[in-house]
Chain A
Amino acid sequence: MSDWFWIIPFFPLAGFLVLGLVGRRLPVAAVSLTACGSVALSFVTALFSWQALLRQPDEARFFSQRLFTWIAAGNFQADFSFGLNPLSMVMVLVITGVGLLIHIYSTGYMHGDPGYPRFFAYLNLFLFAMLTLVMAENYLLLFVGWEGVGLCSYLLIGFWFEKPAAASAGKKAFLVNRIGDAAFLLGLFLLFYQFGTLDFRGIEHALHSEPLHFPVETGQIGTLTLTALLLFVGAVGKSAQIPLYVWLPDAMEGPTPVSALIHAATMVTAGIYLVVRSSALFTRAPLAMETVAVVGMLTAVFAATIGLVQRDIKRVLAYSTVSQLGYMFAAVGVGAFVGGMFHLVTHAFFKALLFLGAGSVIHGLHGEQDLFHMGNLRKQMPRTFAVMLVGMLAIAGVPGLSGFFSKDEILWKLFSSGHTWLWIAGLAGAAMTAFYTARLILLAFGSRPHGEEAHGHAAHESPAVMVVPLVILALLSIAAGWIGLPAWLGTNHLEEFLSPALAVHAEGAHGAGSHSTEIAAAALSSGIALLGIGAALLFYFYRRLDPDALAGRFPFLYRLLRNKYWVDELYRGVFVQPCLWISRRVFWLYWDQEVIDGLVNGTGRILAGAGNILRRLQSGSVRDYAAWLCAGALTVLLYLLIV
């Protein structure tokens, strides 16, 4: 298997080619089979590879396979080479596993859509790109996957391209990501000129073996810090952090399985993966690490506040995703790489679950997405309700479920590494997370107040092909936490598995702190989570508190949150519109057409005008001509006499 592991991405690629080229002519069943089958093959191969990897001794846990040289010029070389190490293995498993479930789910969800084969073609292409991203052996190939997933995101968000909002959201996603990509590219250049290569292992090797050349840049902004920051900007774009998060909520225009797969479980975590993969670099740039942590936590809280008041079920989840990604960044920012990855994994399960559940709701309600138009779904969609409840409890951090362990580890690492403020913010964010997810469940599935007419009555439960993946994801949401138990409860298998890939550099972040403090902190965070749920219950279940009254008390705050801090409007007003205006008025109409073309045409006009003046000298009268002749002769004479 160690020779053949590189084939993992190529199953979905084959699926894409088949579906993309002849998908329209295939029967639906064949399309579904191709789509799911290719992913299943990938997943199985990934499982075998995992086993093969586990059989290796710790220090030799990597596979690598160079397929061919992609670009080589002078001393630069980038290969098409795939590799697996524990870190990418985890990602591959998550991607293929969750991907498989979502493919299966989609066969139900997208049933009857005229673009059915196209959808699966894109989805397969996405998996290929995502697997390329995580299995790449160098930054440039990673960038191929990085852009590839962006492309698929674009295509899938705009899947229903006839909806102007969808088309526009897809474009927005692509463009906002491109801003990050530009920085990413610059980061790559810096990497190349420092290390002479873009291979992960080459760079890691250099960082380890030449500590004098590449010291830890404490208290200064050196080149390593700059590089790390540029890479991080790329990650910010892909993982929807402040200030580039704006595309993710809009991305909800895509079909819901897309939101689950791309905009929750896999693609958006690519940024985290990048930072963790570059951990050797980041640990040498403390300032960059701090930036990562602060941006991450800011985003976590910021997005959570917006999530509190959203009405669209998918938007709530979208802001939640932004927020949870923020947590992951905060974790890796303080050096808790394992913690970040842990949350990434658990988040992949429960957020996919929540999205798919939401999709099931939307599917059941024939496209209704407004929470306030829902209600009473508990009865019509009991299984959906059950699994979404699991997902909600997991994300809220109720003890015992996966979200609890992973979030708790992050909060603990924040605390133990001395980032007290970040820790407090994290707690606040956790409370809000619990609140808005509980709110979502209660609004959608709970009973309606004031006898409001809800759409619930028309709902129906989704078919088994959609429910089964939900159940599996629910089980995973419950159990996935157990791979990373905190020290006071058991063994952190994930850390053990990952540490060869992260090597030693994560150690520095392991702060002091006894088991008792750790338990206390865990208790505090679970208490906070329960508090959030409780508040939601008070608002939306027991109706002891009136959310409208609260909004009325703080009208500005409410409007601020409702309108998402007017960030989109700000960007539009400050960047987009002026840019268009300048391009049109100043560059095109003024500079190009007035100045340059004016010069060009003006030269012509001046010459023609001069010609016309000269023409007028030609009066037609022979006497004038004679005068010219004589004057000319005189001039010649004078010139020869004088000079």
Chain B
Amino acid sequence: MNDSILYWALLPEILAGAGGIFIVLLTPFLRGSRDRGSRLIPGLTLLILLGAMVALFTVARDLPQSPMKELSFSGDTFSLSFRFLLLLICAVISLAARPFLEREEIFRGEFYALLLFIYLGMALLSGSQDLLSTFVGLEVLSIGCYILLGLKRSDLRANEAAWKYFLLGSISSAFFLYGIAMVFGATGSTRYADLFALMGSHSDKQATLLLNCGLALIFVGLAFKLALVPFHSWAADVYEGAPSLIVAFFSTAPKVAAMAALMRFFNFHFPRMHYSAGHFAGWIAVASMTLGNLAAISQQNVKRMLAYSSIAHAGYMILAIFIDNETADTTLFIYLLAYSMMNLGAFLILSLLSGKGDLCVSLHDLSGLAERRPGLAALLSLFLLSLTGIPLTGGFTAKFYLFGSALKNGLVGLVIIAVLNSAVSAYYYLRPVVHMYMKPLPESPSPAEVPPVPIGFALAIGTAALAILWLGILPSFWLEFAEKVNLALK
């Protein structure tokens, strides 16, 4: 393998990192949000992200399609598709960020730099083939997130959310790290390829035990990021406390990255884990879906409800990790694409509706929204229907593909449970729809006037909606795209 190709493969990340550093260096010279220069930052960030995307596809042509197992970072097509998704999410967020930040009076150039750095960490996570680089990626991601969460210093709820996430995240990092140590102890290496090779030859019982424990703790570390039960406890509080736009980012991008890492680690490199881990993942999946859906039923706070919903969705997705056939990564990608777009859309709209300080996010606040803002109501409904998995939305395509793949693997029972869970979820996803369309405008207190939609938001939400519909109505393009990823495996 030619080194130049390797660096070439990292071109998007290099771009993003350089851009981030540039912004960080730029900000001290700007005088707050009023400065013309700081107004340029969002556009600059978007430009960098788009440039990264272009770079991504440019280098893709020259890259081998199979994973380069001997490298710590593989720029194969699998990581390529996930990096594309991550860039997309970041771009959508950066589109909507400025009006949001200005409304909350926390506009700072560093936000954009953080976004780019976090992308860096996530990209690393998606292509990493070495436990150490995985850890670094995870930590870059985490630390960035801690800062994002704490960005709104004056808001006590946001502070609490940040603290909870920080503390629990650190614990999970500790677990992850301990897991790495154990694996390292058992095999003497942190490279996936080495681990894989060594595992086959091991007959040492102690080492195997150590290895298994290590793998379990690594799983815990990643599962925490995905908010899988029983590592979900942070999710609801953090989603509720953090500003909606941050949550929109937060509930999507890190999950994409963590899922990619899980996929690469457990599906590509440790297929033999399938049996016992698959079983266990089954339990975790069932627990996540069920707990997420049930706890969401009686939530009054829409953000909190969506937090539980995302726990449930992580439960569905985890099925894909343990699918032992060639469709696993396609399935995961399609599901994540749909999931992130609909979650982004829903949270962005909530962010618009909830007003400054995210105060109006209860179901009651949505009552009669269709009268006031039919367009927003329709879009929010679209995202919610997609989350439910109603056909002609991306959510359906994703679930369809996922259930199909899982059935192909013989997971009939799990699929039936998942399907029943979907039916339950329909109940709470429809509640906002009920409020928006079927309840009258509340008389008192009169609802906060929703300001006109800033252009950035409109573009961001439009992108998400378009993606959802595209994936729902004409999924061929995306399936084909995702199936190219598939080749990476075989």
Contact = CB atoms under 8 A, between A and B. Distances in A.
**Chain A directly contacts chain B within the complex, with at least one CB pair under 8 Å:** yes
A630 B230 CA distance: 9
A620 B167 CA distance: 14
A596 interface: no
Contacts of B427: 604, 607
B71 interface: no
A629 interface: yes
A626 interface: yes
Interface string A605-640: 001101110110010101011101111110111011
A637 B179 CA distance: 11
A629 B224 contact: yes
A319 B163 CA distance: 95
A607 B297 contact: yes
B13 to A, nearest CB: 31
B298 interface: yes
Given A633-B217, A641-B212, A618 B171 contact: no
B478 to A, nearest CB: 33
B390 interface: no
Contact of A622 (B164, B277, B294): B164
Given A607-B424, A631-B230, A633-B220, A641 B213 contact: yes
Nearest to B284: A636
A574 interface: no
A630 B291 CA distance: 18
A643 interface: yes
Nearest to B275: A643
Interface string A187-225: 000000000000000000000000000000000000000
Interface string B255-275: 000000000000000000000
A610 B213 CA distance: 33
Contact of A629 (B171, B293, B299): B171
A622 B276 CA distance: 31
Interface string B60-78: 0000000000000000000
Contacts of A607: 294, 297, 424, 427
B231 A641 contact: no
A622 B424 contact: no
A627 to B, nearest CB: 9
Given A604-B427, A607-B424, A636-B280, A629 B233 contact: yes
A620 B234 CA distance: 9
Given A618-B295, A622-B163, A629 B236 contact: no
Contacts of B298: 608, 611-612, 615
B136 interface: no
B208 to A, nearest CB: 11
A631 B234 CA distance: 14
B378 interface: no
B358 interface: no
Contact of A637 (B217, B229, B283, B296): B217
B220 A622 contact: no
A625 B168 CA distance: 8
Nearest to B167: A622
A628 B299 CA distance: 21
B175 interface: yes
B213 A637 contact: yes
B455 to A, nearest CB: 38
B212 A632 contact: no
B215 interface: yes
Interface in A588-615: 604, 607-608, 610-612, 614-615
A632 to B, nearest CB: 3
B196 interface: no
Nearest to A643: B276
Nearest to A635: B230
Interface in B214-242: 215-217, 219-220, 224, 229-231, 233-234, 236-237
A639 B427 CA distance: 34
B393 interface: no
B295 A643 contact: no
Nearest to B169: A629
B373 interface: no
B295 A640 contact: no
Contacts of A614: 291, 294-295
Nearest to A636: B216
A629 B231 contact: yes
B273 to A, nearest CB: 9
Nearest to A637: B216
A609 to B, nearest CB: 9
A607 B289 CA distance: 13
B237 A626 contact: no
B171 A626 contact: yes
A607 B312 CA distance: 15
A626 B230 CA distance: 11
Contacts of B209: 641
A124 B427 CA distance: 58
B331 interface: no
Contacts of A604: 427
Contact of A618 (B163, B167, B172, B237): B237
B403 to A, nearest CB: 21
B230 A632 contact: yes
Contact of A640 (B164, B212, B233, B296): B212
Contacts of B424: 607
Contacts of B153: none
A615 B230 contact: no
B279 interface: yes
A358 B456 CA distance: 91
A610 B294 contact: yes
Interface string A238-277: 0000000000000000000000000000000000000000
B98 to A, nearest CB: 32
A13 B215 CA distance: 89
Interface in B274-313: 276-277, 279-280, 283, 291, 293-299
Interface string A558-586: 00000000000000000000000000000
24 contacts: A614-B291, A614-B294, A618-B237, A620-B237, A622-B164, A622-B167, A625-B234, A625-B237, A626-B167, A629-B172, A629-B224, A629-B231, A632-B229, A633-B217, A633-B220, A633-B231, A636-B217, A637-B217, A639-B280, A639-B283, A640-B276, A640-B280, A641-B212, A643-B279
10 smallest beta-carbon distances between A and B, as pairs: A632-B230, A611-B294, A625-B233, A611-B297, A614-B295, A628-B233, A633-B220, A640-B216, A636-B216, A608-B297
Interface of A: 604, 607-608, 610-612, 614-615, 618, 620, 622, 624-626, 628-633, 635-637, 639-641, 643
Given A622-B163, A629-B171, 14 more contacts: A611-B295, A618-B233, A622-B167, A625-B164, A625-B168, A625-B233, A628-B230, A628-B231, A629-B168, A629-B231, A633-B231, A635-B230, A637-B216, A643-B280
